[in-house]
Structure 1
Amino acid sequence: MSKKVVKLDKLTINKIAAGEVIERPASVVKELVENSIDAQSSKITINIQEGGKKSVEVIDDGIGMESTDARLSINRHTTSKINNADDLFSIHSLGFRGEALASIVSVAQVEIITKTEESDLGIHLVIEGGEIVSDKQASAPKGTRISVKNLFFNVPVRRKFLKTTSTEINHITEYVTKLALANPSISFTLTHNGKDILTAPKGDLIAQITAIFGENIARACLPINKKENEYSVTGFITKPEFSRKSKDYLYIFVNGRSVTNKVISEAVSRGYGTAVPHNRYPIIFLYFDLPPNEVDVNVHPTKKEIRFSNEAKVYALIETAIRESLERSGLKLFETVIETRHKPTTLTSVGTKSHESEKKKLPVSISPRERPDYKIVKSKEQRIDKFLPTKDKNIELQEEGFERKKSIRILGIIKDTYIVAETQEGLFLCDQHAAHEKINYEKYIKQIKKKSVSIQQLLAPISVTLKPSEFEIIESIEENLKTFGFEIEVFGKNEILIRSIPSIMGVTIEFNVAKDMIDIFKTNVSEIKEKLDLEDLGFVKEIISIFAC
């Protein structure tokens, strides 16, 4: 028997809609802060409790709302940003769909206090599950304060899938960072459980970058500024040597809106060319402005996705702007290779008299470019571990089946990297770097299993300035990292000291390696915190790889 078609009630409709707009506490922060920006605020304060799961409070000094508008704003498809369908082709505000507040009040306990400059008193609304339970006048300053408590209190399935407090506050912090960068004329303050997490005072863009990311990145910034008709790209990029292992430092804004866009990302990559290695990403703060009717921001309820009417023009302008900025800084891109750096070599009759006679015929004075790129091993029988770094020569090789490979005929070493040898099976090529990495990995895993990781105290601790979202992550796993031999100490606001590393990784580390370590840690938080099988810990392999010879 078929079921009858019924019309859903208002609360159910809003709960379904909330599933698209409100995914987590960071979604609440996004929607409320964007409303504050659209309300012409000059100061915005965000107070978070327990990663936003307990409460999210946003306070601004914007234009506020009249009592009638405040009551109407909690209904779906009510907005002050647009009036009709034609306005969708010329959107100048961050919000416009009229869904945010309706979605929030349907799945949380919400309190709104707002007042305009012209009003003597403000209005105080209390809403639970989409219904107004209290409506009264209140004394309040100009602006709006919205408090959202117990998110998903009436949708327990959604609440169950919220992540840990540290994960949720990380998402919130990163989004507030993007909003602050997009609006340097507004002062932003973010607190978590009463502690200041991010403070971005009102000023120019470079001042915001300094406040959020520290002076090192601010000093490394190179300006970009290029305009073509009504299209313009401005902001800052950094030289390739400041590239990171993660994409977290790609900040892209289109008409003041933080976006993730494949066209722009590919244009940035093309602009840097081969200067940035594969799987590394530059630090950029890129602002692209174009006529509102040439970009569609109404693709998805979260407004993260956008479409351009002329993608080729966008791509070309951004690529050219980045390349020109790098070239002005003295960096030569796409250099033409006149000839190969190393001439090909042939290993024939190694160790024979004929080779010795050929060797004697070589000129007495050989230029570095003409010198052979391989070493001749005179002894016929050598243990392969003899050619690994000195500290690993005495490693006991106990793997099954390796016994017959302990003695092999070494033919030579190419470019101080590859060992060429002959075995019973045929030609054997060994990458010393990979071999060293494998040996260190196995030694490190054994130490972790025995809970006896050998630690090397750094004579000069490495100081690393983190952006606020990174700082929250690293601070949350500080104790967990000790299990793996890393001692990290919080040192001032958004700054840490790396005091020790596993001794298997050496006696010191470079600053760039320290940054890569941070990127690896923050992208593998769950692995570091949870007790997984050691063989499944991908981050251990990543760490070993950056310390290998």
Structure 2
Amino acid sequence: MADIIQLLPDHVANQIAAGEVVQRPASVVKELLENAIDAGANSIKLIIKEAGKTLVQVIDNGKGMSVTDARLSFERHATSKIKTADDLFLLSTKGFRGEALASIAAIAHVELKSKQEDDEVGTCLVIEGSEVQSQEVVVTPKGTSIAVKNLFFNIPARRNFLKSNAVETRHIIDEFHRVALAHPNIEFVMYHNGSESFNLPESNYRQRIVNIFGTKTNEKLVPVNEETEVLTISGFVGKPEFAKKSRGEQFFFVNDRFIKSAYLNHAISSAFEGLLKDGAHASYFLNLKVNPQTIDINIHPTKTEIKFDDEHTLYAILRSAVKHSLGQFNIAPVLDFDRDANLDTPYSYKQKGTPTVEVDRSFNPFQEEKMSSSQPQRNYHKPSGGTASHWESLYVGLESKEIQSQDNFSGVDFETEEKNSSIFDETNKVEHKHTTYQVHNKYIISTIKSGMLIIDQHRAHQRVLYEDFLKNMTIKEAMSQQLLFPLQLHFSPQEIEIIQQLKHDLEHTGFIFQTLSEELVEITGVPVSVPESEVSIILEQLISDVENEVPDSHFSATDLLAKSMAKSLAIKTGQSLTRMEQEHLVNSLFACKEPNVSPANRVTFITTTVDELDKKFV
């Protein structure tokens, strides 16, 4: 039998490796920025065109590369960061696998210019699809410039899987934020389609956060500092009242490397327990310094997950440090046992005497008295004591009045209730029966001929609101209610940009914007069906949906807005409904065009027949 195992060609192996390293343009941005940081640069520029699909360029003023290093850097498993396997557990740099540039060059057109400080001229290297096209001497400033053009030009299937430009740009900005927050001592500038998106000068950590997320962020931050033998924590957490519905402002950095950790995130959530509203997520920007030997970075291709030797200890230290900071800065409620003298009652004064009360000790309300009943009238007697007479004297004469009234009206017939006939025939009279029942303030059960319906009240109300909003936006003319005082909301520059993109559609729904600046949104009118208190929640939900790739080529902005508003305004799980509200929701649901699913294509109700119930008792 012939041999069937063979070695892959280098260009195929590189393309396979590129599938792990380069998932989208944001992956290229991450790798190039980290290489620039490892090169010792203190000023880095990122240039993007068409969400990175056309161009991703990183320019730094680092130490640069020699002619040999420039050529060797594009070979697989070529790196200057590690030499032995033990070095993997002593890493203090970003890139160390030696596959980033080789993988990028396998699926794009790459142009590299680099020069060391002592050299008079630099090197220009052009590579297309792993093949070196040219290598020349060039005049260039100190440092390195790498331009990645036409990403996935030779893998059209991968290019077709990329999302819209808005979504891909959002991922690039996220990677840019992660690298910039981890290194506030480095200047970062980002350009997108020729315009400057970010200009972050060298600063401290707090200023870097404010420069990225807006000046309003400064008042939301609570510092966290804790130093132990195992772990050193520094950074900030957001105040509970500024918590958002999305998880966009949650950053963990371990030894200046961004990571994702559901376990450590739970420690933060536990520290905020009792301080956040339902569905809200705390913001945090925390730097953790640990011994490199106690962590394993090389467990995930993107290096965003880290394995710790002792997670339980880190969990306890992190939770207590955040809790301590919240209590120290009077964010968390505490018990105060110091007595305030202003709250003392007057009873504590011993100088004042007891007030005296004068009473008539000879008064007896049950004492029998002689009274004249010659005339049928009500008499009031005042004894010598000056008090009221016996209580029975108040009823003297009432008996005679009752007899007299009976004599005067003896000939009058009174109509009793028994003689009144009912408007409806008793045989046709049907008592009102309850047709809906609420279970655990979550499900509504309604009876049908074949059995019963079990309806999810939150999803059902979403469907009802979604179709109402969609009808108002597309068919009816938008109705606005003017606000007595303009509503001012503060957002980050990136969130303002999203609102700016959706402004036209928002105005069609009934929103009226007076001001839309870099960090401030001022609203003077809202849709009739939207309460003023829900406006900020709706906009936050809308921004979160845009960031999480909800808008795709198949959905219009109007559809997205209707879904977001329905999600924000729908009744929540745990809300008690009256019988009338339950029946109205059921009737409204089945009046919809598609009552079976919610706007997110989730089932709104299920049916259970009598036969299925009978089988349960077999």
> Could you say whether these structures have the same fold, taking a TM-score greater than 0.5 normalized by the shorter chain as the test?
yes
Distance 1:129 1:162, change over 3 A: same
- Counterpart selection for 1:543 from 565, 568, 575: 568
Partner deviation per Cα, 1:313-369 (whole Å, 9 max, x = no partner): 110111001000001121335989xxxxxxxxxxxxxxxxxxxxxxxxxxxxxxxxx
> What residue is the counterpart of 1:111 in the other structure?
111
Contact 2:224 2:234 in 1 (8 A): yes
1:444 counterpart = 2:487: no
Tell me the CA shift for residue 108 of structure 1: 0.2
> What residue is the counterpart of 2:76 in the other structure?
76
Q: Distance between the aligned counterparts of 2:547 and 2:202, measured in 1?
A: 29
Q: Distance between the aligned counterparts of 1:157 and 1:534, measured in 2?
A: 28
Q: Secondary structure at the match of 2:92?
A: coil
> What residue is the counterpart of 1:295 in the other structure?
295
Distance 1:443 1:508, change over 3 A: same
Contact 1:222 1:238 in 2 (8 A): yes
* Superposition pairs of residues 450-465 of structure 1, within 5 angstroms: 450-458=475-483, 460-465=485-490
Distance 1:447 1:514, change over 3 A: closer
Distance 1:406 1:18, change over 3 A: farther
Contact 2:538 2:568 in 1 (8 A): no
> What residue is the counterpart of 1:204 in the other structure?
204
> What residue is the counterpart of 1:234 in the other structure?
234
Contact 1:272 1:323 in 2 (8 A): yes
> What residue is the counterpart of 1:476 in the other structure?
501
Q: Secondary structure at the match of 1:274?
A: coil
- Counterpart selection for 2:551 from 508, 526, 532: 526
1:113 aligned partner, one-letter code: K
Contact 1:213 1:465 in 2 (8 A): no
Q: Secondary structure at the match of 1:504?
A: coil
Contact 1:441 1:544 in 2 (8 A): no
Tell me the CA shift for residue 132 of structure 1: 1.2
Q: Relative to structure 2, which stretch is displaced further, 143-152 or 225-234?
A: 225-234
Q: Secondary structure at the match of 1:93?
A: coil
Tell me the CA shift for residue 502 of structure 1: 1.5
Extract unaligned runs of 5+ from structure 2. Answer: 337-428, 435-440, 442-446, 448-456, 578-618
Contact 1:57 1:148 in 2 (8 A): yes
Partner deviation per Cα, 1:249-301 (whole Å, 9 max, x = no partner): 11111110111111210111111112123421111111111001111110112
Partner deviation per Cα, 1:493-512 (whole Å, 9 max, x = no partner): 35544454322113676656
Contact 1:524 1:539 in 2 (8 A): no
Distance 1:220 1:512, change over 3 A: farther
Q: Distance between the aligned counterparts of 1:33 and 1:88, measured in 2?
A: 21
Q: Distance between the aligned counterparts of 2:545 and 2:18, measured in 1?
A: 34
* Superposition pairs of residues 112-151 of structure 1, within 5 angstroms: 112-151=112-151
Partner deviation per Cα, 1:6-63 (whole Å, 9 max, x = no partner): 2111110000000000000000000000001111111111010000001111111111
Tell me the CA shift for residue 456 of structure 1: 3.1
Q: Relative to structure 2, which stretch is displaced further, 27-36 or 206-215?
A: 206-215
Distance 1:66 1:479, change over 3 A: same
Q: Distance between the aligned counterparts of 2:27 and 2:511, measured in 1?
A: 34
Tell me the CA shift for residue 139 of structure 1: 0.9
Distance 1:132 1:312, change over 3 A: same
Q: Larger Rg: 1 or 2?
A: 2
Q: Distance between the aligned counterparts of 1:482 and 1:528, measured in 2?
A: 22
> What residue is the counterpart of 1:341 in the other structure?
none
Q: Secondary structure at the match of 2:120?
A: coil
Contact 1:184 1:205 in 2 (8 A): yes
Q: Distance between the aligned counterparts of 1:21 and 1:245, measured in 2?
A: 31
Measured on the aligned residues, the alpha-carbon RMSD in Å equals 3.6
Distance 1:165 1:532, change over 3 A: closer
Q: Secondary structure at the match of 1:119?
A: coil
Q: Distance between the aligned counterparts of 2:279 and 2:534, measured in 1?
A: 21
1:260 aligned partner, one-letter code: K
Among all aligned residue pairs of Structure 1 and Structure 2, give the percentage whose two residues are the same amino acid: 37
Query: How many residues of Structure 1 are paired with residues of Structure 2 in the alignment?
Result: 465
Q: Secondary structure at the match of 2:551?
A: helix
* Superposition pairs of residues 47-196 of structure 1, within 5 angstroms: 47-196=47-196
1:243 counterpart = 2:243: yes
Q: Distance between the aligned counterparts of 2:77 and 2:569, measured in 1?
A: 53
Q: Relative to structure 2, which stretch is displaced further, 538-547 or 125-134?
A: 538-547
* Superposition pairs of residues 251-290 of structure 1, within 5 angstroms: 251-290=251-290
2:217 aligned partner, one-letter code: I
Contact 1:474 1:522 in 2 (8 A): no
Q: Relative to structure 2, which stretch is displaced further, 175-184 or 440-449?
A: 440-449
Extract unaligned runs of 5+ from structure 1. Answer: 337-403, 410-416, 418-422, 424-431
Tell me the CA shift for residue 486 of structure 1: 3.8
Contact 2:473 2:558 in 1 (8 A): no
- Counterpart selection for 2:491 from 462, 466, 471: 466
Tell me the CA shift for residue 155 of structure 1: 0.6
Q: Distance between the aligned counterparts of 1:31 and 1:433, measured in 2?
A: 43
Q: Relative to structure 2, which stretch is displaced further, 79-88 or 530-539?
A: 530-539
